Chains A and B, each alone.
Chain A
Amino acid sequence: KNQVEQSPQSLIILEGKNCTLQCNYTVSPFSNLRWYKQDTGRGPVSLTIMTFSENTKSNGRYTATLDADTKQSSLHITASQLSDSASYICVVSAGDGANNLFFGTGTRLTVIP
């Protein structure tokens, strides 16, 4: 069964600290993995996308890693800011087509001053 699981479900950190969010998947075949950021009351916005051959991708203070062998990905946030407070959603694609996307339920990150 194609599934995407994220952990932790929620996380609270102090401003300036680093954190790492996890995504494990059982999707097959694997095409790519994308991380979305969803601010409260807004739609998800794409942060990074990685294919099978890419094991790391950065977008500013966000760095995503992918281990296609263990089917795990992580999103590392460096020097967190209050604006990083959001939900982060991991999405795995099994190929072309909108019905080949598998969504995690997200990690809710709260950054406090």
Chain B
Amino acid sequence: DAGVIQSPRHEVTEMGQEVTLRCKPISGHDYLFWYRQTMMRGLELLIYFNNNVPIDDSGMPEDRFSAKMPNASFSTLKIQPSEPRDSAVYFCASSTETGSRVTQYFGPGTRLLVL
């Protein structure tokens, strides 16, 4: 298996532009997670899906952020309009369950820089 795939790996954009991050989870994993990682705050859960349905989006910072999962093999995280404080590394992860002992498998991340 290729693991969790994310694209693009790097994104540089200007403030106010729309940014779309993409994720393909591991086949057979029913759960998909979006995280944001910064030096100051570490990893933060933004939203997660179960069987393509959003379960908890309480970590989404504000209305500028939205996420979709149209099918079991694809998810997007969109920021519109983007702001410099959104600069971070965004990770997608997937797992078979959300039990406390279940391992989440992370993608390589998308490094976003908003100028």
Contact (Cβ within 8 A) B56 A105: no
- Are B100 and A103 within 8 A (Cβ)? no
Q: Which residues of B contact A41 (CB under 8 A)?
A: 108-109
Which one, A42, A43, A46, A89, contacts B103 given CB within 8 A?
A: A46
B42 in contact with A89 (CB, 8 Å): yes
**Are A96 and B33 in contact (CB-based, < 8 A)?**
no
Number of interface residues of B (CB under 8 A): 28
Question: Is the C-beta of A101 less than 8 angstroms from some C-beta in chain B?
Answer: yes
Partner of B48, one of A93, A96, A98, A106: A98
Cβ contacts under 8 Å, B106 to chain A: 43-45
**B33 → chain A, closest Cβ, in Å?**
6
B56 touches A103 (CB 8 A): no
Give a binary string over B50-87; 1 marks a CB under 8 Å from any A CB, 0 the rest: 00000110110000000000000000000000000000
Residues of A within 8 A of B33 (CB): 98
B20-56: which residues lie under 8 A (CB-CB) from chain A? 31, 33, 39-45, 48, 55-56
> Which residues of the other chain, A, contact B100 by a CB distance below 8 angstroms?
31-32, 93, 95-97, 100
How big is chain A's contact interface, by range?
Answer: 20 to 34
Q: Given the complex, which residues of B lie within 8 Å of A103, measured CB to CB? A: 42-44
A93-B100, A105-B40, A105-B41 known; A42 and B108 CB under 8 Å? yes
B1 to chain A, nearest CB (A): 14
Nearest A residue to B31, CB-CB: A98
Contact residues in B for A96 (Cβ distance below 8 Å):
98-100
Closest Cβ of chain A: how far from B27's Cβ, in Å? 17
Shortest beta-carbon contacts, A-B, top 10: A43-B106, A105-B42, A31-B100, A93-B100, A103-B43, A98-B48, A103-B42, A46-B103, A98-B98, A44-B106
